[in-house]
Structure 1
Amino acid sequence: MAENLNDPAADLMETAAPPPGILVSGHFRQAHGYQTHRSFGTKDWLITFTLSGTGHYWLDGRLQPCEPGDIVLLPPGTPHHYATPEGSVWEFVWAHFMPLPHWSEWLTLPSEAGALHMIRIAQQSVRERIREAFQRMIRDSLDLDYYRSRLSLNAMEEILLLAQQAEARVKSGQMDPRVEQVLSHLSQHMKQRHSVEELAAKVALSPSRLAHLFKQEIGESVIDTLLRLRLRQASRLLEYTTMPIAEIADEVGFHNPFYFTKQFTAYYGKSPSQYRKEARKSAADESH
């Protein structure tokens, strides 16, 4: 919990921020004496993930320690000061980034203006996966190759998704393993036809009990979730492959391409062909 302390950031020299860009990242291991002070924040988002030791953040004179497994997110324009406290060596990975449009739903803003947002990753396996994603992101972001830069963005997206998933589980309690099993089955077998009856049988529940439990845990019905999974996978195939639209529709479980186009347009506000055209134009602009 944050404590009220004298703010050590008073009268400190300003720390320069990296030039605003899509993604800049790194890995620091800093002893006591290391500090960063930005009284006007940065023009992009900042994320840090503590690997070992302890770091201290000060915002408006309030101290927030961060320990191994803690993710800190700072929105643009948030004044901040962070440092390694006495007696510690703070090892952390970080990234300054400009979110892609579809990341907005995973960037939960703090309830207080100017506050940081901390997510504590309790599960060791998830911590390790986030650490590995940061390592890939840092490595790929250093390369000027267009494809490597896209891979670094994929790693950033993975980190945000894992953080959001961990926070959602803390807020709602651990997800029921039967619901988790159904979700996993749907994501791995999108092309197949599914029914609540068939899915309920797989997890030894009645259809009505599964429908109720799933809506309670996920916040939407099984069918709505399957539709969302299919459409999001379709958007990735449109963006990153040259597969024909009818083939993409079939690949994600829409056996009628006209119905696929209708559903995709309703969800994304643009047709599959327009979505692909805009994604390619954006990629071409970034590569120049």
Structure 2
Amino acid sequence: MAENHNNPAASSVSAETAAPPPGILVSGHFNQAYGYQTNRSRGTKDWLIMFTLSGCGYYWHQDTMRHCSSGDILVLPPGTPHNYGTPEGHVWEFVWAHFLPLPSWSEWLSPPQDKDALFLIHVESEAQRERIKGAFERMIRDSLESDFYRTRLALNAMEEILLLIGQQTNRKSVPLDPRVEQVLGFMEQHMKMRHTVEELAALVALSPSRLAHLFKQEVGESVMETLLRLRLRHSSRLLEHTTMQVGEIAEEVGFHSPFYFTKQFTAYYGKSPSHYRKTVRKAADEEEP
């Protein structure tokens, strides 16, 4: 995020860019060449988040132009002036979302001490970048639908992105060993695959015994215990927010036997998948006005 003191908008006054109406989650994937520019001198009534996938973009802020490159996240609170675009000689690929935060998100969106409240974050880890990109892709896909469950899934993806940003900016947390983080990211992105410690160890150029020891030391549980937990937690979200059959969910999260999935799910949550779904749906219906 290099600084440049030449204002790209100084030579001409750009027209105000219309903003989507606040109150709904709107997201998309842009790939814009030189000439693309957005200008909102008063900002918007909602939050805006942008994650650069490749290329280069600029953002004009407090008389300084900052460049955004691959792995950079820009978060703009309501009322923050927008003036961003693609610099000459570049193409800017990024994903974005306009959103109004749920009350529980406030701790991850605490503004900086300066009054202009701007977040500029660089994500170094390739595994974290892929996870954030995957969450954006799910959010974009689900936000195109208007039914209750797809809308909730889009909000869940937005919450995941904010949690990952919060993890990234929490200076008190100790980062995982990058090899362990890569294995975690691979399991999360390929949950349907059959995984073995041997294959995962080869992925990060470690012996199986070394990966097993390092993983337990960093995460606090074994590789296979973590994989089981990831699968069960993802299956609970699918039970809550989709109409997929239990057998379909079992296959989606990597269980090749619905009976074994039901056994493991019941042991973890204290309810069978069907009972869990009924309980959650009943609670959701009671919360509806």
TM-score under structure 2 normalisation?
0.61
Q: Which residue of 2 aligns with 1:92?
A: 94
The reply on whether 1:34 has 2:36 as its aligned counterpart is yes
Q: Which amino acid aligns with 2:37?
A: Q
After superposition, give the CA deviation of every residue in 1:161-212 in whole Å (9 maximum; x if it has no partner): 11111222xx3474366xx99xx9xxxxxxxxxxxxxxxxxx99xxxxx9xx
Offset, 1:57 = 0.3
Amino acid in the other structure paired with 2:9? P
Following TM superposition, by how much is the alpha carbon of 1:81 offset from its aligned partner in structure 2, in angstroms?
Answer: 0.5
Structure 1 residues 65 and 280: CA distance shift in structure 2, 3 A = farther
Query: Whole-Å Cα distance in 2 between the matches of residues 132 and 176 of structure 1?
Result: 20
One-letter amino acid of the structure 1 residue matched with residue 129 of structure 2 = R
Q: CA deviation at 1:2?
A: 3.7
**Contact residue 7 and residue 60 of structure 1 kept, 8 A:** no
Give the aligned partner of residue 154 of structure 2. Answer: 152
Distance 1:47 1:281, change over 3 A: farther
The equivalences for 1:208-219 within 5 A come to none
SS in 1 for 2:44: coil
Matches of 2:47 and 2:22, distance apart in 1: 10
Secondary structure in 2 aligned to 1:40? coil
CA contact (8 A) 2:30 2:93 kept: yes
Q: Corresponding residue for 1:6?
A: 7
- Per the alignment, do residues 50 and 176 of structure 1 end up closer, same or farther by CA in structure 2, a change over 3 Å counting? closer
Give the Cα–Cα distance (whole angstroms) in 1 for the partners of residues 45 and 125 of structure 2: 32
SS of alignment partner, residue 95 of structure 2: strand
Q: What SS does the aligned partner of 2:79 have?
A: coil
Residue 132 of structure 1: how far off its partner (Å): 0.9
Alpha-carbon offset, residue 51 of structure 1 = 0.4
Q: How many Å separate the matches in 1 of 2:96 and 2:27? A: 5
* Unaligned residue ranges in structure 1 (runs of 5+): 185-202, 205-209, 211-232, 242-249, 254-275
Deviation at 1:95, TM superposition (A): 0.1
**Superposed counterparts of 1:131-280, under 5 Å:** 131-168=133-170, 171-172=171-172, 174-175=174-175
Q: 2:104 aligns with which of 102, 108, 112?
A: 102
Could you tell me which amino acid in structure 2 is paired with residue 8 of structure 1? A
Contact 1:25/1:137, CA 8 A, preserved across alignment? yes
Unaligned stretches of 5+ residues in structure 2 = 185-212, 218-232, 242-266, 271-281
Structure 1 residues 15-30: aligned runs within 5 Å: 15-30=17-32
User: Does the CA contact (< 8 Å) of 2:51 and 2:72 recur in 1?
Assistant: yes
TM-score using structure 1 length: 0.61
Aligned-residue offset at 1:3: 4.1
Tell me how many residue pairs correspond in the alignment: 204
The equivalences for 1:40-55 within 5 A come to 40-55=42-57
RMSD of the alignment, in Å? 3.5
Following TM superposition, by how much is the alpha carbon of 1:111 offset from its aligned partner in structure 2, in angstroms?
2.5
The CA distance in 2 between the partners of 1:176 and 1:61, in whole Å, is 37
How far 1:251 moved relative to its partner?
6.7
CA contact (8 A) 1:130 1:159 kept: yes
Structure 1 residue aligned with 2:65: 63
Cα deviation, 1:229-258, whole Å, max 9, x if unaligned, reads xxxx9xx99xx59xxxxxxxx9779xxxxx
Partner Cα separation in structure 2 for residue 280 and residue 145 of structure 1: 15
